[in-house]
Amino acid sequence: MFSTAEQTLKSSLKALGKDFYINYLRHALFFNWRSIVGDGIADNIRPSRLERKTLFVAIDSAPWRTEFQFKKAGIVDKINDAAECKLIDEILIGQSFKAPAPPSNDTNEPERLTPDEIIANDLPNITLTDEELEEILNNSPSIEDDQLRTVMLETSKTRARLNKCRLKHGWHRCATCELLVPPEEILCDNCMLKELEQFRRAIADVIREVPWLTYAEIRREMENRMPHLVNQCYPETVLSIRSTVVQQLARSLDVRDQRQIKRLVMAYRQLPPDQLTDDVIKRTMRRLRFDLPTGGEDY
Ligand SMILES: [Zn+2]
């Protein structure tokens, strides 16, 4: 997992403690994925997350899902050989968010309309079949009050027409819940928000565990883990999360603990452990005292 040039880094990492070293290996698995497993596998199987010693991967193509079953044991060996320890026990196929295909061009919808406008325009033309009406009637709760029952029934009919219209225009289920979302989207607004929170938390974890990674390296790791959100990984995003992580590390800092100090300096200066000299640490800590931003979110 390490090139020869990284040997110094490797011993510096070990000096920072076993946990830190193992964490680094876990991340190295993501950003060295291609060199560990080779191009053929890397082109078709993406590592998405590591839970204890189980690696979850995303595989978009059906033939490769089958192929994977035969290659699985070999991949586990490759990973553990590269890490020079038993980093993982098994690999499972996890949930994969595949971007849906763009809507076909044979519709006559003008491109300037938003998905909601397209639906609003076509909704008056959508009617329910007798079977669909019957299904709504069968599924509606029995309500004594006539007026209330009528209102509920009308609401159900409107919702059914709306969904029918959406399906007609290529809407599909959100990747994690039942709501219908426009053709080009993967998640509904609510799930998107939750995913984004998770995405930011994952970036914070990466920064905490491998503090010296550059923006490009972090982005590459996120591309493996949460490809559906990587377009949300702006330099500003990473910068702001890094600043939050630095604040957290500074807040909880035990000044007698050299490892904590080093981690803080690495996160703040984006320096690998082999570049941490006493002088660098001293100067950085002095600067940090004046430069610590306040406020912000927690991860
Ligand atoms: Zn959803």
Instruction: Give 27-82 pLDDT, tens digit per residue.
Output: 888 888 889 999 989 988 988 888 889 898 888 888 888 888 888 999 999 999 98
pLDDT (tens digit, 9 = 90+) per residue, 196-250? 999 999 999 999 989 999 999 999 888 888 888 888 889 998 999 999 999 999 9
Domain final position from 96, 130, 149: 96
Decide if 110 is inside a domain: no
- Closest among 132, 148, 149 to 140, alpha carbons compared: 149
State residue 286 phi and psi, 5-degree precision: -65, -45
Distance 145 CA to ligand 1 centre (A): 33
Q: Could you tell me the distance, in angstroms and rounded to a whole number, from the CA of residue 185 to the centre of ligand 1? A: 11
Phi, psi values for residue 91, rounded to 5°:
-125, 130
What's the average model confidence in pLDDT over 134-142? 89
Question: For residues 79 and 25, what is the distance between their CA atoms, to the nearest angstrom?
Answer: 10
CA–centroid distance, 36 to ligand 1, in Å, is 35
CB 188 within 8 A of CB 179: yes
Number of domains in the chain: 3
Q: Do 65 and 142 fall into the same domain?
A: no
Per-residue pLDDT tens for 257-298?
998 999 999 999 999 988 999 999 999 998 887 666 555 556
Residue 186 alpha carbon to ligand 1 centre in Å: 9
246 Cα–ligand 1 center, Å:
33
> Is residue 5 pLDDT above 80, yes or no?
no
Task: Compute, in angstroms, the gap from residue 174 CA to the centroid of ligand 1.
Answer: 5
- Distance (Å) of CA 25 to CA 94, 209, 255, 279, 287: 21, 10, 27, 28, 30
| pLDDT, tens only, 246-260 | 999 998 998 899 989
In a domain, 25, yes or no: yes
- Ligand 1 centroid, distance to 181 Cα (angstroms): 8
Asked if the structure places residue 164 within a domain, the reply is yes
Phi, psi of 158 (to 5 degrees): -60, -45
Q: Is residue 299 domain-resident? A: no
The structure tokens listed for 299 are: 């991860």
Q: Sort 192 into a burial class: Cβ within 10 Å, 0-12 / 13-18 / 19+.
A: buried
pLDDT value, residue 75: 94
Q: Ligand 1 centroid to 183 CA: how many Å?
A: 14
Say if residues 93 and 62 touch (Cβ distance below 8 Å). Answer: no
Contact at 8 Å (CB) between 280 and 269? Answer: yes
- Region of 85 (left: φ > 0; alpha: ψ -120 to 50; beta: rest) is beta
Residue 216, judged by CB atoms within 10 A of its CB (0-12, 13-18, 19+), counts as exposed
CB neighbourhood size of 113 (10 A): 12
- 176 φ/ψ sector (left φ>0, alpha ψ -120 to 50, else beta): alpha
CA of 153 to the centre of ligand 1 (A): 25
Q: What percent of the chain has pLDDT over 90?
A: 38
Q: In this structure, is residue 175 part of a structural domain?
A: no
> Residue 182: inside a domain, yes or no?
no
Let me know whether 1 and 75 are in one domain. Answer: yes
What is the rounded distance in angstroms from the CA atom of residue 220 to the CA atom of residue 214? 10
pLDDT for 126-137, tens place per residue? 999 999 999 999
Q: Is residue 262 part of a domain?
A: yes
Interval between CA 180 and ligand 1 midpoint (Å): 8
192 and 221 belong to one structural domain: yes
* 115 Cα–ligand 1 center, Å: 17
Statement to judge: residues 27 and 87 lie in one domain: yes
The predicted pLDDT at position 199 comes to 92
Q: Are 162 and 221 within one domain?
A: no
- Specify if 177 maps to a domain: no
Q: What is the domain range of residue 136?
A: 115-169
| Strand pairing category for 54-59 and 90-93 | parallel
Q: How far is the CA of 133 from the centre of ligand 1 (A)?
A: 26
CA of 228 to the centre of ligand 1 (A): 14
pLDDT band at 171 (very low <50, low <70, confident <90, very high): very high
What's the Cα-to-Cα distance from 192 to each of 186, 188, 189, 199, rounded to whole Å?
8, 6, 5, 10
Mean model confidence pLDDT for the chain: 85
Give the mean model confidence (pLDDT) for residues 105-124.
76
Measured in Å, residue 65 CA sits from the centre of ligand 1 at: 25
